[in-house]
A and B are shown apart, each in its own frame.
Chain A
Amino acid sequence: MRNLRRLKSWEGLLLAILVVVVVNNAVQSPVYLSVENQVNLFQLFVERIIVALAMTFIIINGEIDLSVASVMGLASCLLAFLHEQSVPMPAAIVVTLTVGVIVGAFNGFWISVVGLPSLAVTLAGLIGYRGVARILVEDRSIGNFPEWFNRLGQQPLLDPLPLASIIFFILLVVAVVVLQYSAFGRYVYVIGNNREVARYSGVKVRRVKMMLFIASSTIATLAGLLLAARLGAVRGSTAEGFELDIITMVLLGGVSIFGGSGTLVGVGLSILLVLNLRNGMSLVNITSNTQTGVIGALLILSVLIPNWTQDARSLLSRRRRTGHTPVTGEEKGG
């Protein structure tokens, strides 16, 4: 239960920083609070924060999916390729989403059935899927999508929110319900804490992992389609490097890279923090180099602070000779 308090305090810290950032931004820039800017702030990162939701499940489960950005790229390139081959857009979207499911099942097979480390499997995926994407579009830039498709990506659907932002908020609610209030969510935590214990307690570890990797790739594929619509043109490098932004936001949200702990509240706060921080810095014309540095420093702190507090606590508990290791997953037991 101490871990529980630790997490809450991390979220409290994130919230405090967020409030400072928001207030500071509002003071610094007259346009910061405008609807247009608040929508843009989400839109510029919307594909990445959608994928971050799925990544939260994966990391809490004690795994990692490095292939998400390449899957996004593959999705947008496959869509563009099919469009170029005169496949009707709706059919191309269905085919691409199906391929996304298959890619996820392929990743999941090696990880959950064969038992290879997800770091290695998805690193291979990062390289391999990007390779396929580049083969599909070569060195070209493919655009000229139908008007309705571009409009979905670039115009508000429910004024002022564009489709992608709406999808993000829907997925956020679904993710919170599944992770924090369902049996499946409990399994995700239990497996992340201790795979063996989970297995002996009758949790279907393989099935849970398989489902997570399928979900991760499918959501990344959806995000890739949304990205293609927002940019209106696609090339082989689309979404390159996004996996680092995504993992950064999840870890900054207090999700342990070793699995077993973290909440979507933390990730939600971290997403808001990163987006508002970057937006605020952009609005006062701070260069990208500095922005990257600031986000990096935050991430280092997010890893260090919990570690320090944990060290201090384990020192205390060793003195008391309790020898008890708290299990965060149990917090959802109620």
Chain B
Amino acid sequence: MNKNLRAVVSLLTVAMLLLAACGPAATTAAPTQVPPTKAPPTQPPPTQPPVSGEPVKATPGQAVSMVLLPKFLGILPFDQAHDGAEEAATELKNPEALQFLGPTPENSVAGQIEIVTTATTQGVDAIMISNNAGDQIAPAAKAAVAAGIKVVTWDSPIPSAEGEQLFIAQVDFDETGTVMADMALSILGADGGQFAVLSASPDAANQNAWIAAMQEALKDPKYANLELLDIVYGNDQSEDSYNQALALVDKYPDMELIMAPTTVGIAAAAKAMQDEGLCDKVKISGLGLPSEMVSYTLNDCAPEFALWSFVDLGYLTYYTSYLLATGAIEGKEGETFEAGRMGTYTIEKDPTRDAGLRVLMGPFTVYDKTNVEAASK
């Protein structure tokens, strides 16, 4: 009995210590945050009129701590974006190392929230999120913004745009719809046919927007013979996507094409068709990485697919976030800035989200037998 009591007391003491040890000295101040005085005099004054002014240029060498947060770790596109961000970091001579932190795939939502919250506590200067948590990340992102941190999304935005200052859009979401509809038409031919969509997770804002844009594009009489049968979700897991692709084949015997607007889904679906010897019957298309798709394109399982460069997306995201975090741009509509090797960009309203602002990267590259080998190197 006494032993137990003592143990309970010691547990509570530890808990109390943990909660209280910090005392009044601890504040929410972010120790590593760059004070505004750090800005060198050569920097353009922040009050300059954004619309008519010259494109803002970055001042290299400023110390800003930045976190690049992918949807989760372990897939190639995010590693490529990381490479691009590192390239920009080197160019901008940022003395602070870039932190590439992501959750594990099965813990993506809770993990992303945890990383944003921890980064806020650490007092980093900018967090760059490829959001996989839908609006569930908004409270954590808002807390980050309230602590003076710049929150930039890339690849996949926060649907409500709450807690997000800018979205670096890889391509115009409407254009994605048209590109996918065009590829479907080109593969199925003028006679058309039936096809289905294999997407990532049901709450991935980017995929949902692209599918919606494609459905909108399909209303054009040009695509009248294309029939969209179903939309299924493989959750960006290879095995799920593989099984979903085969389930589609079983369910729709007349289906001739699976459109997968996700790099994981398209590769898994192409592998499924190849493994089952179905490539003559069911083609695969969508958004894929040349290095992962090259063999399927050459053996005609996936004759055409499209993508933008994730390296460029990471580069542009880092560049823009650096400009924001150093105060060179404020993240207002109409501001124009230079992003190193990629040229000049303007902040504009995001047509797919009422409250959002975006920087549009673009454009698409469509890959087929003629160019996929070169791109996969």
Contact with B along A1-44 (1 / 0, CB 8 A): 00000001001000100100010000001110111111110011
Tell me the chain A residues, 158-207 only, with Cβ under 8 Å from chain B.
Answer: 169, 176, 180
Q: How far is the CB of B261 from chain A (nearest CB, A)?
A: 15
The reply to whether A150 and B139 form a contact with Cβ atoms under 8 Å apart is yes
- Minimal Cβ-Cβ distance residue in B for A177: B8
The reply to whether B15 and A272 form a contact with Cβ atoms under 8 Å apart is yes
Contact with B along A32-65 (1 / 0, CB 8 A): 0111111110011000000000000000000000
Chain A residues, CB < 8 A from B308: none
- Minimal Cβ-Cβ distance residue in B for A241: B106
- Minimal Cβ-Cβ distance residue in A for B133: A231
The reply to whether A180 and B135 form a contact with Cβ atoms under 8 Å apart is no
> When the two chains form the complex, which single residue of A15, A36, A263, A272 contacts B26, counting CB atoms closer than 8 Å?
A36
- Interface residues, chain B, CB within 8 Å of chain A? 1, 3-4, 7-8, 10-11, 14-15, 18-19, 21-22, 26-28, 31, 73-74, 99, 101-104, 106-107, 109-111, 113-115, 117-118, 121-123, 134-136, 138-139, 143, 159-160, 201-203, 233
A283 with B118: in contact, given A34-B27, A230-B139 (CB under 8 Å)?
yes
The reply to whether A8 and B118 form a contact with Cβ atoms under 8 Å apart is no
A289 to B8 Cα, complex, angstroms: 34
The reply to whether A334 and B1 form a contact with Cβ atoms under 8 Å apart is yes
The reply to whether B136 and A232 form a contact with Cβ atoms under 8 Å apart is yes
For the complex, is A276 an interface residue (Cβ under 8 Å from B)?
yes
Chain A residues, CB < 8 A from B134: 141, 233, 235
Q: Would you mind naming 25 contact pairs between A and B with Cβ atoms under 8 Å apart?
A: A8-B3, A11-B7, A31-B26, A33-B21, A36-B28, A38-B18, A38-B22, A40-B121, A43-B117, A141-B135, A154-B143, A230-B139, A232-B139, A235-B136, A238-B136, A241-B107, A265-B7, A265-B11, A268-B15, A279-B118, A283-B118, A285-B99, A287-B101, A289-B73, A292-B107
The reply to whether A37 and B121 form a contact with Cβ atoms under 8 Å apart is yes
The reply to whether A15 and B118 form a contact with Cβ atoms under 8 Å apart is no
> When the two chains form the complex, which single residue of B7, B73, B115, B159 contacts A141, counting CB atoms closer than 8 Å?
B159
A282 to B114 Cα, complex, angstroms: 9
The reply to whether A139 and B203 form a contact with Cβ atoms under 8 Å apart is yes
A319 to B28 Cα, complex, angstroms: 61
The reply to whether B117 and A141 form a contact with Cβ atoms under 8 Å apart is no
A237 to B73 Cα, complex, angstroms: 19
Chain B residues, CB < 8 A from A40: 117-118, 121
Chain B residues, CB < 8 A from A263: 4, 7
Q: How far is the CB of B197 from chain A (nearest CB, A)?
A: 13
For the complex, is A143 an interface residue (Cβ under 8 Å from B)?
yes
The reply to whether A35 and B73 form a contact with Cβ atoms under 8 Å apart is no
Chain B residues, CB < 8 A from A43: 117
B10, B160, B202 pick with most chain A CB within 10 angstroms: B202
List of 8 A-B pairs having minimum Cβ-Cβ separation, nearest first: A139-B202, A34-B26, A233-B135, A33-B22, A231-B136, A141-B134, A282-B118, A265-B7
A29 to B18 Cα, complex, angstroms: 15
The reply to whether B114 and A143 form a contact with Cβ atoms under 8 Å apart is no
Tell me the chain A residues, 218-235 only, with Cβ under 8 Å from chain B.
Answer: 230-235
Q: How far is the CB of A229 from chain B (nearest CB, A)?
A: 9
Chain A residues, CB < 8 A from B3: 8
Contact with B along A261-301 (1 / 0, CB 8 A): 00101001100100010110011010111001000000000
A231 with B118: in contact, given A34-B26, A288-B73 (CB under 8 Å)?
no
A231, A234, A292 pick with most chain B CB within 10 angstroms: A231
The reply to whether A272 and B121 form a contact with Cβ atoms under 8 Å apart is no
A35 with B11: in contact, given A44-B114, A141-B135, A287-B102 (CB under 8 Å)?
no
A sample of 14 more A-B contacts (CB under 8 A), given A30-B31, A283-B122, is A38-B19, A43-B117, A139-B203, A154-B143, A169-B15, A232-B135, A232-B136, A233-B134, A233-B136, A235-B202, A237-B201, A238-B109, A263-B7, A334-B1
- Minimal Cβ-Cβ distance residue in B for A19: B14
Q: How far is the CB of B67 from chain A (nearest CB, A)?
A: 8
A180 with B4: in contact, given A139-B203, A287-B102 (CB under 8 Å)?
yes
For the complex, is A259 an interface residue (Cβ under 8 Å from B)?
no
For the complex, is A100 an interface residue (Cβ under 8 Å from B)?
no
Chain A residues, CB < 8 A from B118: 40, 279, 282-283
Chain B residues, CB < 8 A from A269: 11, 14
Chain A residues, CB < 8 A from B28: 34, 36
Chain B residues, CB < 8 A from A241: 106-107
A268 with B11: in contact, given A40-B118, A241-B107 (CB under 8 Å)?
yes
Q: How far is the CB of A82 from chain B (nearest CB, A)?
A: 18
A35 to B28 Cα, complex, angstroms: 8
Contact with B along A90-124 (1 / 0, CB 8 A): 00000000000000000000000000000000000
Q: How far is the CB of A246 from chain B (nearest CB, A)?
A: 13
Chain A residues, CB < 8 A from B115: 282, 288
> When the two chains form the complex, which single residue of B10, B21, B143, B160 contacts A15, counting CB atoms closer than 8 Å?
B10
Q: How far is the CB of B22 from chain A (nearest CB, A)?
A: 4
A141 to B208 Cα, complex, angstroms: 12
A40 to B19 Cα, complex, angstroms: 11
Q: How far is the CB of B89 from chain A (nearest CB, A)?
A: 15
- Minimal Cβ-Cβ distance residue in A for B9: A265
Chain B residues, CB < 8 A from A329: none
A191 to B178 Cα, complex, angstroms: 65
A242 to B109 Cα, complex, angstroms: 11
